Amino acid sequence: VTVTAASLSENALGIRLLNQAKKTYPSISKSWVDTGFKNAFVEHGASLGIDVEVVHRKSDIPGFHVVKRRWVVERSLGWVMLRRRLARDYETLPASSEAMIHIASIDNLAKRITDETTPTWRGTY
């Protein structure tokens, strides 16, 4: 998880994330990105031994359509947004937002492993 200011470019952040991912998970070999990432990012991934695949939207199909691997991102964001504190920008420091995302992910994983549910801000307490 990396939280940054919106002014940081996707490529600059992406290169930082690739370095972090390769350091943490040396066996990583594949990454999917959207069309906002440029060749420098793809080349940096190749230099690290990571195959970076740019997933293009099908422009010949009007309206909504499923984009390859995008559902994984949307599903993950949906799980995190069930936590009220993450549904709004309450945090002052990026590190606090990162910590809240880690906590939400741990809670989601624990619920999936134990098959138990914990109330969310949308549910009944």
For the segment 38-59, the average pLDDT, to the nearest whole number, is 88
pLDDT band at residue 118 under the 50/70/90 scheme: low
At 45-54, the pLDDT tens digits run 999 999 998 8
Burial class (CB in 10 A: 0-12, 13-18, 19+), 118: exposed
| Angle, alpha carbons 26-9-99 (nearest 5°) | 60
What lies within 8 Å, CB to CB, of 45 at 6+ separation is: 18, 31, 51, 52
Place of tokens 């060749």: 39
* pLDDT score at 57: 76
* pLDDT score at 39: 86
Q: Give the residue ranges of DSSP H helices in the chain.
A: 10-24, 39-47, 70-80, 84-87, 94-114
Amino acid letter for position 79? W
Length of the chain in terms of residues written: 125
Question: Taking a C-beta distance cutoff of 8 angstroms, is the pair 65, 55 a contact?
Answer: no
At 97-114, the pLDDT tens digits run 888 888 888 888 888 888
